[in-house]
A = this chain, B = another copy of it.
């Protein structure tokens, strides 16, 4: 990669970093990606509703919230025509390059940001160098700005090579809420993909280290349970209430007590709860925002089935109603050794790579797994690789940052692996 290009990628990444957008509100981000993509020779470019199985989107914000972020994107200079295509929260896009015979190879990068206020500390490079978040309270605290940039860089590197085959780039929205993987996996654009890579920076691996195949994805479901009862004066007429806080408490007590499973790890958390209106009123409403996980997709389904039954029963127990909505979801997945092996081979010969790790566990959840499973279920191979970077703060903290030079390493490794896959058809 030339220094000039490198500067362009840095500028692009910083532009995205200044405009962090959460799930289904990546209007500016998508518009900027599209703007860059249109400068390249693409065979096809799918935007907005064309890039997604729109009915599978989860946790889409209400119209007001969408409109507010759309406005922000326009104010920040996003291309109006592109934003028009994204209206309604149809963010993300898929770029296609067909170059002669050869397999169809996909790369998935995610593009959304987090509701975390970014550090203003002088030690924090984005603050020091003037590309700190311009959306106060939101931040690219997980490196998805770097991922999008790697996607663009990989495209350039492949275009610039003798690659023969089809390359598909998936710029996926809504990963942080495990809300965007499914609609992209079901979009149809994955149906002919023979090989799929996905990539993440950092993950506590230092600069110079490459993880060839990440495993240990916990399948997950985010849910929101809203209990509804009836209010009553707690002193004068307690019996007239239908107590939504009692229902919630019964649910919490029993959710954590779902039987452990011999087949592997399971998880449950009632992460955000609340209810009631006043000290002297029997609470008429309450809610639990929580998550259920499993070491396999089946284990997460096991937890989910139990949780649904517990939430319903807890409501019934206190004569309340409950509405349980799935706000995000992702299965587990496994990286194929063949693709991981190619990453290892390529990384071993890539400048800047000082350590190659065969495999590592994520220990968390990711919805790239939807895309990986989709490809694997139709007989293809998939692999999730990690590109190390010395990140000062942990992922999802206000001090997180990436070393920009590591983006170039990522591009070199991924583009190299894609070319090798096209050649060897493993």
Contacts and interface: CB of A to CB of B under 8 A. Distances in A.
A261 interface: yes
B269 A279 contact: yes
A290 B273 CA distance: 16
B262 A237 contact: yes
Interface in A237-291: 237-239, 241, 243, 245-246, 248-250, 252-254, 256-257, 259-263, 265-283, 286, 289-291
Contact of A245 (B273, B310, B364): B273
Interface string A223-248: 00000000001111111010101101
Nearest to A278: B271
Given A291-B279, A313-B313, A364-B236, A267 B260 contact: yes
Contact of A250 (B254, B290, B306): B254
A291 B282 contact: no
A206 B204 CA distance: 47
Nearest to A116: B278
A156 B273 CA distance: 53
Given A280-B291, A363-B236, A253 B246 contact: yes
Task: State the main secondary structure of chain A at its contact with B.
Answer: mixed
Contact size range, A: 35 or more
Contacts of A261: 238-239
Contact of A277 (B235, B266, B271, B310): B271
A176 to B, nearest CB: 10
A57 interface: no
Contacts of A279: 222, 269, 271-272, 289-291
A221 to B, nearest CB: 10
5 contacts: A234-B268, A256-B256, A271-B280, A272-B283, A313-B317
Interface of A: 218, 220, 222, 233-239, 241, 243, 245-246, 248-250, 252-254, 256-257, 259-263, 265-283, 286, 289-291, 293, 302, 306, 309-310, 312-314, 316-319, 363-365
